[in-house]
Structure 1
Amino acid sequence: MGESAAAAAGSGAGSAAGSAAASGAASGAEPTEPVMSESTAKVEAHDPAFPAKFLEFMRTGWAEDSLAVKPSPGTPRYAERRAALSAQFPGETLIIPTGREKARANDTDYPFRAGSDFAYLTGDLDPDSVLVFHPVGDGHDPVLYTKPRNSRETDDFFRSRDGELWVGRRATLTEKSASLGVETTVITDLERVLADCAPRRTRVLRGFDPEVDAAVRPWTEKDEKDQKARDGRTRDQELAIAISELKLVKDPWEIEQLQDAIDATVRGFEDVARMLPADRGVRERLIEGVFGLRARYEGNDVGYSSIVGAGRHATTLHWIRNDGVTVPGELLLMDMGVENQNLYTADVTRTVPVSGVFSSLQRDVYDIVYRSQQAGIDFIKPGVKFEDIHLTCMRVLAEGLFDLGVLPVSVDEAMDKESTIYRRWTLHSFGHMLGIDVHDCSNARKENYRDGVVGENYVLTVEPGLYFQAEDELVPAELRGIGVRIEDDVLVTATGTRVMSDGLPRSSAQVEEWMAAQRAAGPRLPGA
């Protein structure tokens, strides 16, 4: 990607409010008025007034269901990352929230996705948790403040909107600690902890939890201004930078996670090719849905909004409306990636001919982009500059534009830093870092990323593209509406690269062969 409650009443489905009202009616009691939660600002509609006999009945007769918890395979890695972050900020309190569920509309939420930095340091995927590094000597004691399982000794397990009869069982504090390898305690202790933090010795990862941001701001606002005046960065920004730069080098477990996501993505592209008809159109959203099925079956979800651009829509870099229809004889650009269960994501783009065979002109454009990508991949090795990778890819594109008769100047003139007019037809860079975010390491300092050099065990995308807008009068009419991007996920090795997404074809001839083979195999469902 270039540089994004059900309730159980009546028939078994419906709004939470409707279910609560039905429960109240069944009990013979009128439901209470909905209660507005101060912490969530959402209507608590799961809590009608119940008769005392019903409440007493609900509190009894429940068997123990403790879980046999094993440490997560990533637990040692999370501990190593916390230790590395701790070493950079001795004597300081570090506060890293994961975030809260966000309202989609009224009392329905978007599916929660843990904050990437928080997940990178803990492996915890639940909402409403905060990781705090408490300074101890030259190091820290990290503590995870989180919501515990609703105790059966209270009524929350069936009355709260977060109760397990509504949304499922939460881990107990003991279970979560055993799984993640970090001390855990109840989130309600956090307010006291924040109040006890020493002024000017606290850093917060901001923008994830408004309550944490608000609680810390009165102590650090002046200090932040003073710090920014000295070096242009606030103390909190330095924390975000440090976490981002820890992610630059991928450890072996992370590489396994990325390969897992990429392999699932390959299968998702195959699913699409198997159902894509050559002789009639299908909606872009059908393609999005077929891939999304694979993402939900094998992973957590898609890693970003799937881009499915048929025909002229392929010329819009981030086309996520996906409301068009494929046309035989035109191209189809698909930029999609599976996010795996540990939140590592793939990011792969393929442009294919709907009919199964490129036209002569489509092939010419495609082959230019392919040569550009191959040049970039061949150039990458430890120590080369990101900027030089970009220029390597862009020069091949500029040469191709010149050969097509599109460039109004020479290749050298077009590539000149004072010109770069070739970019009219390719606005984005060659690629970006990939990991637990599709655009990973985005807070890293320029000198350590965009203005820096590539290191071993970096994982990058290489994704050049050419886009000829349908309204562009500066290109021949036959090119208008053609968009091509090829994107692969690449691991930097000691001597060069390994293309992690090589399960998909890249050259035009390989794409045609692959399309034919997938169509011959026929449609399939994941797991079938």
Structure 2
Amino acid sequence: MSEEQKKPEHRSRPSSAAFRTFVSSGWAPRRTTTPERAEVASYAAARRQALSDRFAGERIVVPAGGLKVRSNDCDYVFRPHSAFAHLTGLGGDREPDAVLVLEPRDGGHDAILYFRPLAGRDTEEFFADSRYGEFWVGARPSIEDIEAELGLTARHIDEYADAVAKDAGSLTIRVVRDADRDLTEKLDTVRASASETDEASETEQVEAADDELAAFLSTLRLVKDEWEIEQMRLAVAATSDGFDAVVADLPEAVRRGRGERWVEGVFGLHARHAGNGIGYDSICASGDHANTLHWIKNTGDVNEGDLLLLDAGVEVDSLFTADITRTLPVSGTYTDAQRKVYEAVLAAQEAGIAAVKPGNKFSDVHAAAIRVIAEHLHEWGLLPEGVDVEATLDKEHGQYHRRWMVHGTSHHLGIDVHDCALARKEDYMDAELRPGMILTVEPGLYFKADDELVPQELRGIGVRIEDDVLVTADGHDNLSADIPRTADDVEAWIRRIQQG
């Protein structure tokens, strides 16, 4: 039990032997049907094989992580660590406190999943444990269920501590450090006690080894397999449905007041129904709020004449998430000034998408998009006097355009919205694009209401357009292309949805 759970018990709990006998009896037999092997199991096994090949002879520890307290004695809905989900295939709110261990053997590794299996009805956990008990949170799978579903060896979590400490002084043990802080601390103690080096040196060595593991696991997700690509297509399709629902309810968002929350709720309803939920906190930014890049407070009104910047994605049950942005005219049509900014951003996005192809570098996507942004800002006379496009694009002495486009144009996307974040720079920013990579293309222009360097007509306008793009053998596939993107198509989309 964690420190945060060591609190006085205020529930009345029957404890007599007679009650224990009573509560454990009179139940129908549990189901005996063995789950079918999950479709993802073979793909997860291939990912584990890549990990095994890289760290031959070493013990690899990948925790799912534990439950986190939301308030007092209530937990957040569980989401396993992304590395754990990727290597096991378990998504949703599956198996808190579980640990995947790759145990070295001649010729490779054995994959062993330590978890908390279904408890017997004669145990106190069954009826009295509000955090794990079947009465409170439902039945968990048995050891046999997990083995059948995932195609690996499963064991009770109580066996983990002894197993991970075995022969600790004779082999390297690596752990995903940020998945479960308490587990990592205990494992650090095991590794330190088995080491012959001084404590400071040992700490430095094990952390460096763990960092190497984390980078490898992040890099492993850069290129998606066919199952992952299909999950991304499902996430995008569900997100498209959520966007349609928001468009349909824009008049209601205006009418009710605090419309940003209404938009957030409408999209969240569809995300939770179609998948695991939202992939990240939705940005539902109306008017000048669109110029706050990570506006997730969503406390504002949605007014006629505003632009609504909706940046949202559905996370499907496998935990893969879409990440899509559209900037919608609340009244159904863009004003001339809004359209001017929108079409500049769209031109930049088109240039960025065109740069998504094998052989180009990841950084080429941003370079292509930001050049178009700089060209428009120069044409509109917003860059400082004497600064032309090439001068502002100079990374050491320019960058004036970043006053109005401060963020990057792309990031990898998958099981995390900002996927593969621990991959090294040479494997990410400086790497060549390869078929199977999925990245966003999302330029924007943001003219804050109090920005006196832009014309009055542009102040308060914020536009971002974002799509999820798959690198293919001969170019790219815009997975979210079916969601209207040009100004004319967006206006037609709103008319079609709202007028039936």
Give the CA deviation at 1:155.
2.6
Q: Which residue of 2 aligns with 1:21?
A: none
Instruction: Give the superposed CA RMSD.
Output: 2.0
1:364–1:81 distance in 2 versus 1, CA, 3 Å: same
Structure 2: how far apart are the matches of 1:311 and 1:223? 59
Cα 1:84–1:270 change in 2 (3 A) is same
- Structure 1 residue 40: Cα displacement: 4.3
Does the CA-based 8 Å contact 1:311-1:332 persist in structure 2? yes
Q: Does 1:101 align with 2:79?
A: no
The answer on whether the counterparts of 1:135 and 1:141 sit within 8 Å (CA) in structure 2 is yes
- Give the alignment's TM-score, normalised by structure 2: 0.93
Counterpart in the other structure of 2:376:
400
Q: Can you give the 5+ residue segments of structure 1 that lack an aligned partner in the other structure?
A: 1-35, 522-528
Q: Deviations over 1:299-324 (max 9, x none)?
A: 00100000000000000111000000
Q: Say yes or no: does 1:184 pair with 2:166.
A: no
Q: Distance in 2 between matches of 1:509 and 1:38?
A: 57
Look up the match of 2:40. Answer: 74
Say whether residues 1:456 and 2:435 are aligned partners.
yes
Q: Give the 3 Å change call, closer, same or farther, for CA 202–233 of structure 1 in structure 2.
A: closer
Matched, 1:174 2:144: yes
The answer (yes or no) to whether the contact 2:468–2:480 under 8 Å persists in 1 is: yes
SS in 2 for 1:135: strand
**Could you give the per-residue CA deviations for residues 96-150 of structure 1, whole angstroms, max 9, x where no partner exists?**
1011111111111111111110000002222110001111013111100100111
**How has the CA–CA distance of structure 1 residues 494 and 512 changed in structure 2, closer, same or farther, with 3 Å as cutoff?**
same
Residue in 2 aligned with 1:335?
Answer: 311
- Residue 410 of structure 1 is matched in structure 2 by 388
User: 1:328: Cα distance to partner?
Assistant: 0.7
Structure 1 partner of 2:282: 306
Moved over 4 A (4+): 36-40, 42-47, 219-230, 278-282
Where 2:463 maps in the other structure, the secondary structure is: strand
1:288 aligns with 2:264: yes
Aligned length: 485
CA distance in 1, matches of 2:198, 2:266: 51
Shift of 1:54: 2.1
1:245–1:481 distance in 2 versus 1, CA, 3 Å: same
Structure 1 counterpart of 2:232, which letter?
A: L
2:29 is the counterpart of 1:64 = yes
Superposed displacement of residue 405, structure 1: 2.2
Is residue 490 of structure 1 aligned with residue 469 of structure 2? yes
Q: Which residue of 2 aligns with 1:198?
A: 168
Q: Distance in 2 between matches of 1:70 and 1:225?
A: 48
Task: State the match for 2:86 in structure 1.
Answer: 120
* Alignment-derived partner of residue 473 in structure 1: 452
What is the match of residue 77 of structure 2? 111
Instruction: Indicate which of 476, 485, 497 corresponds to 1:506.
Output: 485
Establish whether residue 152 from structure 1 lines up as the match of residue 121 from structure 2: yes
Aligned to 2:238: 264
Identity of aligned residues (%): 47
Match of 1:361 among 332, 337, 340: 337
Equivalent position of 1:208 in the other structure: 179
Q: What is the match of residue 52 of structure 1?
A: 17
Look up the SS of the partner of 2:375 in the other structure.
helix
1:244 aligns with 2:218: yes
Question: In the aligned structure 2, how far is the partner of 1:483 from the partner of 1:156?
Answer: 53
Q: Aligned partners of 1:328, 1:144: CA distance in 2, in Å?
A: 54
CA offset digits 1:48-92 (Å, max 9, x no partner): 133332222111111222252111111111111111111100110
Contact preservation (8 Å) 1:46, 1:159: no
The alpha carbon displacement at 1:43 in A equals 5.4
Task: Please give the alpha-carbon distance, in whole angstroms, between the structure 1 residues aligned to 2:9 and 2:167.
Answer: 32
CA gap of 1:484–1:67, structure 2 versus 1, over 3 A, is farther
- CA deviations 1:133-172 (Å, max 9, x no partner) are 1110131111001001111132321011211111111111
Residue range with higher mean Cα deviation, 475-484 or 247-256? 475-484
CA change 1:297–1:229 in 2 (3 A) is: closer
